[in-house]
Amino acid sequence: MVVGLKPSISEFIARMIAKNGCEAQVDFKKGAVARVETLRHSATLNWFFIPKIARAIQAAATVAAEKSTPKTSRK
């Protein structure tokens, strides 16, 4: 796990996933989370979430959970 501040974290991840002689650009905003898998001398960006995407996923999960819960009344 790596934790860092902008702009160094963006540059660090970009250098990890770029092949020699190539450039990669990662716009790592505040609150973003990325998973980078490393194997020997290479790295792969598996996923990258910004807070806006995380909130959308959470909202969709909440709506799905509400629809699947049967409404019963207790008297």
pLDDT per position as a tens digit, 11-58:
888 888 888 777 888 888 888 888 899 988 888 989 988 889 988 989
How many domains does the chain contain in total? 1
pLDDT at 71: 65
**Domain span at residue 51?**
8-68
pLDDT at 75: 63
**Distance between CA atoms of residues 13 and 36, nearest Å:** 8
pLDDT at 34: 87
pLDDT at 56: 92
The reported pTM is: 0.64
In a domain, residue 28? The reply is yes
In a domain, residue 47? The reply is yes
In a domain, residue 51? The reply is yes
